[in-house]
Structure 1
């Protein structure tokens, strides 16, 4: 083997390196396709944008690891070789932490009231993630027929009905008595969900009552912290996140938790 051929061979990635490069490209492409799928059932939000950016980053990283042009630097720059694996490890740890804690339900099924936290609606209909929360609520309402139900969620951009109204319609269509349901249709955040819901429950139940809330598994941890900040002592129930929304929703929630830790909001 000549010196030139040997040098070129050193620049060529190993078989394991090539497989790793392909894996990064595949994961990135899956994330990009997942974002496109979620857009069919949800409106644009931060999680969609950031997940798309991460997918593009993975594709670029994988392709750069596979580069073998003679005379070119082998693979991605050093900072990227450190940044991408570290980012991935942190995200996976955050996802596992949110999923495990989010599934540890604390509701007794005997609370006086349950607050259902809203999420996106599309064309006036509940989205799969919101439907999952409402199905849990239907089960809770059956198990605890005396509980008052607050459906909390305002008017999303571009929609004609509030999240609260769409949620009420869904619950009534599944046999929950309308007189048990209170609409909270002003809020635009989880903090406002709890604040406005508390005002409505105080007016209906007085100052002494117990509360549970229902939300998606990834959202339970932050929602519990926000509830406490809003002066609502609440137990909780989780709803499963639709499998194809897991990357987008968990990325979005990780960013939201970082903001909550930094600002308390």
Structure 2
């Protein structure tokens, strides 16, 4: 079985990506890189079998294994940080920011986004004085900004429109915080070091959200997260490890 492990893993990754995209109500981010990885693993299997007696291939394989183990150690370290980062602080805050996460059918919140909005509703049960900032612009495959769909969803659940602030320019998490900060400071007439903010997102996203909140000048903040749908856990947590590196280096 070990002899075919790379090919089996490749087939599994390809099958997983196809299945989750068929059952998901919105485009699953990071699908293409995982699909390519699956194809490469299958190609690697056949190259390895074909060149198993080659001295050059043997040396190349040893170097590749060393690099793979180093990368795996870093990856697992980041995953451990993502998993253990505090995600459910229910203490009262002045403002809550709900981060966008894509729309289904171009107009309604996706499964992940509904989870975040439901977490916001849950948090508001005991913290109903908080002002709600809905942060999310319009993606290339969406008919309306995410924050507009989010506002409609919350209002249908009984949230007063007067408690909602719309931020509809952002296209990624870094911009979520950049433009939400402008909205909060403009509305409150205070600096961020005078405001306590609750970040509402999905569990896999809590650590990176906090990193980017700090980078954008947020001082007093904590997380209240929804849970990831079980079949999306592998791809969302894998993607997030790479996204954290990208955010630390480039955002």
Q: Relative to structure 1, is the Cα distance of residues 121 and 210 closer, same or farther in structure 2, using a 3 angstrom cutoff? A: same
Alignment-derived partner of residue 230 in structure 2: 243
Structure 1 unaligned segments of length 5 or more: list them: 1-18
- Which residue of structure 1 lines up, in the alignment, with residue 198 of structure 2? 212
Alignment of 1:82-161 (within 5 A): 82-101=66-85, 104-105=86-87, 107-123=89-105, 124-161=107-144
**What corresponds to 2:162 in structure 1?**
179
> Computing the radius of gyration over CA atoms, which structure comes out larger, 1 or 2?
1
- Once residues 246 and 221 of structure 1 are traced to their aligned partners in structure 2, the CA distance between those partners, rounded to angstroms, is 15
Unaligned stretches of 5+ residues in structure 2: none
Root-mean-square deviation (Å): 2.6
CA distance in 2, matches of 1:57, 1:90: 21
Q: CA deviation at 1:95?
A: 2.4
1:243/1:113 Cα in 2 relative to 1: closer, same or farther (>3 Å)? same
Aligned equivalents of 1:92, 1:56: Cα separation in 2: 23
TM-score, structure 1 normalization: 0.79
Aligned with 2:96: secondary structure?
A: strand
Q: Deviations over 1:133-192 (max 9, x none)?
A: 111111011121111111100001121111101111222222322222211111112122
* Alignment: residue pair count: 241
Q: Does 1:58 align with 2:41?
A: yes
Tell me how far apart the structure 2 counterparts of residues 37 and 192 of structure 1 sit (CA, whole Å).
31
Deviation at 1:97, TM superposition (A): 2.5
Superposition TM-score, scaled by structure 2 size: 0.83
Cα deviation, residue 61, structure 1: 4.2
Find the aligned partners of 2:229 and 2:14 in 1 and give their Cα distance: 17
- SS, match of residue 199 in structure 2: strand
Q: Given that residues 51 and 251 in structure 1 are in contact (C-alpha distance below 8 angstroms), is that contact kept between their aligned partners in structure 2?
A: no
Q: Residue 249 of structure 1: CA displacement? A: 1.9
In the alignment, the residues of structure 1 paired with residue 249 and residue 175 of structure 2 have an alpha-carbon distance, to the nearest angstrom, of 18
Change (3 A) 1:37 1:181: farther
For residue 36 of structure 1, the aligned residue among 18, 31, 44 is 18
8 Å CA contact retained: 1:152, 1:187: yes
